[in-house]
Amino acid sequence: MHGGFLLFYTAMTDRSSMPVGIFDSGVGGLTVASAVRHLLPDETIIYFGDTAHLPYGDKSPGAILHYSKKITDFLIDHKCKVVLAACNTVSSTVWDELYGYSSGRTIALNVLDPVIESLVHGIQVKHIGVIGTKNTINSGAYSRNIKKILPDAEVSCLATPLLAPMIEEGFIYDDISNAIIRAYLSASTLKGIDKLILGCTHYPVIRNQIIKYYDFKVEVVDSAMIAAEYLRSILESRELLSSGSDKNDRFFISDHTEYFGKIAGIFFDKKISLEKIDLWK
């Protein structure tokens, strides 16, 4: 971790009125954006979902970094005071490189660090489970950083690659999603866990199903809300909270998908206008 978070600033006046930029490979980051909207109702959000390249979980680090840099440039060009990488794959595999690339141009945050830091303040447990994409789990970022702050805890990580595309396709609260969730969570790797970290921002969409699978006996960590709470603390500490009421949230995607608009509307309780843009021409 980099002192908790990366903090970069632009030399501009009235930064508090600038928007908050959030990006992900698809709908997963909307869980974070929704939490930000709930906790910070006066902030303007600019969201970018890279639906043309989802999921990031099976892409090479080079490709993920390339996409992330382009999106970061786009959000900075839109004068975002913060760029929040609402993607665990980005946060766990290419964050150091994106850190350097963003230097001096904006405040840059990820979603992995606040979840790790939250474990220090929570009830101590003996066995922590983590589920995420192949890249996130294979990076070892969660297990490595959890061990730094909780050396005595047992950490069990499981790649669950079907969950993100399942959610992107709208398979939730049905027999298909329940069967896939049950198949993953019944793995011996996760046997006996006290807490489960949802290491993908898509997964809060199915958090209630996961909680029910464990019969409410395992704490299921909502990374989206934790990231939003940390964002609020950063803006408060730097006196960058917006006090305006003229919000003009914008939602950009790199390719149209049937489900993106629907889930965005559910999260924000209104019809969302999507703007398609190709950053890689």
Q: Mean pLDDT, 10 residues at a time, over the chain (281 residues)?
A: 40 76 95 95 96 93 97 97 97 95 93 94 88 96 95 96 92 92 98 96 94 96 93 95 82 89 84 91 78
Instruction: Return phi, psi of residue 275, to 5°.
Output: -115, 120
Domains and CATH numbers, the chain: 15-111+225-276 (3.40.50.1860), 113-222 (3.40.50.1860)
d(CA 262, CA 256): 12
Structure token digits, residue 270: 């209104």
200 annotated active-site: yes
3-state secondary structure 104-168: CCCEEEECHHHHHHHHHHCCCCCEEEEEECHHHHHHCHHHHHHHHHCCCCEEEEEECCCHHHHHH
Catalytic: which of 33, 112, 200, 253? 200
157 annotated active-site: no
Instruction: Return phi, psi of residue 70, to 5°.
Output: -60, -45
> What pairs with residue 47 in β-bridges?
22, 251
pLDDT tens string 92-120: 999 999 989 998 899 999 999 999 999 98
Catalytic: which of 87, 115, 164, 225? 87
pTM over 0.75: yes
